[in-house]
Chain A
Amino acid sequence: MDSLQLLGWSSMALFSIGLVGVVVRRNVLVMLMCMELMLNAVNLALVVFGQRAAAMEATVLVFLVFVVAAAEIAIAIPIVLLLVRRRRSMDADSYMELRG
């Protein structure tokens, strides 16, 4: 009864929700959390196909993705703190001069 369609579709839907969240929300921290959601969605797809193939490599890769996510958040949070300290705002629209 377990369906690969549903699992794959859920992973894709989670990724889309994360992507929409990064685009539509204003708060920098919320955008960061939506990025984490996208990473989780990719992990779900990786685990689903890894379990289907009974591949140990997939589990190791998921573990490495976890560690990279931790490293990413360890750098992203200080950058956000720095921006908020400079501009006194968590609104992404107040960093308009960053555009090219």
Chain B
Amino acid sequence: MIHSLLLYGFLMASLAGAAAMLVLRHPMHVALALVATMLCLAGVYAMMGAHAVAIFQVLIYVGAVMVFMVYVIMLLDVRDPSLARRFSGLLWPGAIAGIALVTWLGRDAWEGLAPFVAGEPVTLQAFAVALLHDYWLHFELVSILLVAAVAAALAVIAVGRRPRG
């Protein structure tokens, strides 16, 4: 009982945080709403038995990606025209299309799926063994991708610093 209550509570809180992202004005508030959404999703993962994924969600998403995002928001001048006018000209078409998408996809998702029965919880040990034993090649390829991303980020910054003329 308490398990289901927590699962649905986290799920509803994550949906509420996502909805708040649409209407909040300041980018910092949007970032905090996104952090709350991600933490609630980590709670959902933990309640479903995916403890390893919950840990990575907190460590990588909230700990790294969103802290980076918050720093960039603090770095940039946020007194911007986009603060006074939050929404673009596509507000009404976008909102109507979004509601239509939720209704259309939501009906299929609601009717077409069987009840959720969680399998065995994935332990961190089993995950670590699988990652470094069966999927070591993917692990190494991802590390190459990360190095390429860092090099690309440095290249983009270097383009910005080149004198114009």
Contact = CB atoms under 8 A, between A and B. Distances in A.
Contacts, number: 252
Interface residues of B, number: 88
Given A2-B116, A7-B116, A70 B146 contact: yes
Interface in A15-68: 16-21, 23-30, 32-34, 36-37, 40, 43-44, 47-48, 50-56, 59-60, 62-64, 66-68
B7 A2 contact: yes
Given A29-B76, A33-B31, A75-B156, A14 B53 contact: no
Contact of A59 (B50, B64, B88): B50
A85 to B, nearest CB: 6
Interface range for A: 35 or more
A27 B60 contact: no
Given A33-B31, A73-B65, A91-B82, A16 B116 contact: no
Contacts of B116: 2-5, 7, 48, 52
A10 B109 CA distance: 9
A39 to B, nearest CB: 9
Interface of B: 4, 7-8, 11, 14-15, 18-19, 21-22, 27, 30-31, 34, 37-38, 41, 44-45, 48-50, 52-53, 56-57, 60-61, 64-65, 68-69, 72-73, 75-76, 78, 80-83, 85-91, 93-95, 97-98, 101-102, 105-106, 109-111, 113-120, 122, 126-127, 130-131, 134-135, 138, 142, 145-146, 148-150, 152-153, 156-157, 159-160
Interface of A: 1-10, 12-14, 16-21, 23-30, 32-34, 36-37, 40, 43-44, 47-48, 50-56, 59-60, 62-64, 66-75, 77-82, 84-86, 89-94
